[in-house]
Chain A
Amino acid sequence: MNINKIKNIWIKTRKKRKAKTKVDVSKIKNMTEDEFLENYAKVKSSCEFYENILKYILGTITVSIITFLGYITYNLTTTYFSQYNLFTEEKKEIVSITYIISISIAVIVLISIIVCIYFYFKILKDKRFLLFIYEQIKEENKGARE
């Protein structure tokens, strides 16, 4: 298999993949009324489903994790700084290691929450974009009928 053939397969695959990400507006416009209604309902319910996950589940999980981490960090920090001078050298080392590990885990968890929320908003953006197109076409069809 020569390099040109591989290059062609690569271009073909990229084109296919790009076509899948693009919304084919003319295809939606050419749908029959029943097909359009069915797809519109699917897109709308899917968008609402993701929005509700964001509002209720993801929101609750994020707020509770951040509150929990914030409470633990605050508690550990105040205890650590107020009690540090009272400890012996060995205890100071144990307490410092505990404090550093807790803070590092809290930071890593927070960063991963931010990454998850970013991915989530990316999915939601695509869903809203598709819904917007369907709603525009619905309005157009309504206008044409009147």
Chain B
Amino acid sequence: MEKFLEAIFNNILQIILLIIYSIFVWIYSHNLTILNSELIKLENSGWNTLEILGYKDYEAIWYFLYAILLGISGIIIIIVTINAFRKYLEGIMDLIINLIIILILIILLINVFKLISVPILKLIFTVFITGIGFMYASASK
């Protein structure tokens, strides 16, 4: 028990970061799941891409930008954990705790990516490619 507590205290910063990150991801995932189901319903009822993206004051685009921010901050927390793990490794408990932290972070990142990919990322890619096409086609005229 003492060894376990020592390992917890040794990695306290990473654990706090993980908890804060998990809370953000949980709130984000919860709201995104609701939005995703609404967007899929709209898509099925015949709304076009632009109307779906513009739903609730472009909420889909905000969620996409939050996903990028969450992705980058997740990667930074993984780097911080690996760095601390190299510096302050004390024993097998530290190793296990750090591996669990990294594993949870990777699962959270995959979850964010999975939730954002359909339908928001798909819609954004469609609009993005069309937009770039319009801009350059009209510029080259």
**Residues of A bordering B, CB below 8 Å:** 1, 6, 9-10, 12-14, 16-17, 20-21, 76, 79-80, 82-83, 86-87, 90-91, 93-95, 97-102, 104-105, 108, 112, 115-116, 119, 123
Contacts and interface: CB of A to CB of B under 8 A. Distances in A.
A83 B50 contact: no
Interface string B22-59: 00000000000000000000000000001001100010
A38 to B, nearest CB: 20
A95 B60 CA distance: 16
A90 B139 contact: no
Contact of B135 (A20, A21, A83, A112): A83
Given A94-B50, A94-B134, A101-B124, 20 more contacts: A12-B6, A13-B10, A14-B9, A16-B10, A21-B87, A83-B139, A87-B138, A91-B134, A93-B50, A97-B61, A98-B130, A99-B131, A105-B65, A108-B72, A112-B72, A115-B76, A116-B76, A119-B76, A119-B80, A123-B83
Which applies to chain B's interface (DSSP): helix, strand, loop or mixed?
helix
B138 A76 contact: no
Interface in B80-131: 80, 83, 87-88, 90, 124, 127-128, 130-131
B127 A10 contact: no
A74 B72 CA distance: 24
Interface residues of B, number: 34
5 smallest CB-CB distances across A and B, nearest first, come from A98-B131, A13-B9, A112-B72, A83-B138, A94-B131
A6 B8 CA distance: 11
Contacts of B136: 79
Contact of B54 (A9, A93, A105): A93
A112 B87 CA distance: 23
B91 to A, nearest CB: 11
